[in-house]
Amino acid sequence: MRIQKPQKRLYYSLRQAAEMLELQSDTIKRWEEDIVQLKPYRNRAGNRYYTEKDLTLLLQIKELLVEKKLTPPQISEHLKSNPINDEEKEVLELKRHLAEVKLELREILALLEG
């Protein structure tokens, strides 16, 4: 039996993004209203889809809310005036990769259980 690496996804649904980031879907929707930089792709039906870049931004927003205790308007201003440096970007991308792996493992577990 050969184990194959899952195909890289181009987009993640709102449910998948929320699960990966351990957030509620409503929280992400609220952030979209308050933080202008967060604009996920929407299909014709209006469903949200998030790219890797969107997920990295969501992780950054989550950290600014939790660690720096900034409000959404402050976060929006912070993102405009403080571009992310290479080290921060690398850390956020590693966290995103870890979240993707956790999501894949949860999906595999669900398949094995059901």
pLDDT, tens digit, 9 for 90 and up, residues 52-81: 999 999 999 999 998 889 998 899 999 888
In a domain, 73, yes or no: yes
Q: What value does the mean pLDDT take over residues 39-62?
A: 93
Q: Which long-range contacts (CB under 8 A, 24 or more apart) does 80-88 make?
A: 80/37, 84/60, 88/60
pLDDT of residue 25: 95
pLDDT of residue 5: 57
pLDDT at 3 > cutoff 60: no
Q: What is the mean pLDDT of the chain?
A: 88
In a domain, 55, yes or no: yes
Q: Give the residue numbers spanning the domain of 28.
A: 12-113
In a domain, 3, yes or no: no
pLDDT at 28 > cutoff 90: yes
Residue with tokens 């999501």: 103
- Measured CA to CA, the distance from residue 78 to residue 3 in angstroms comes to 43
In a domain, 70, yes or no: yes
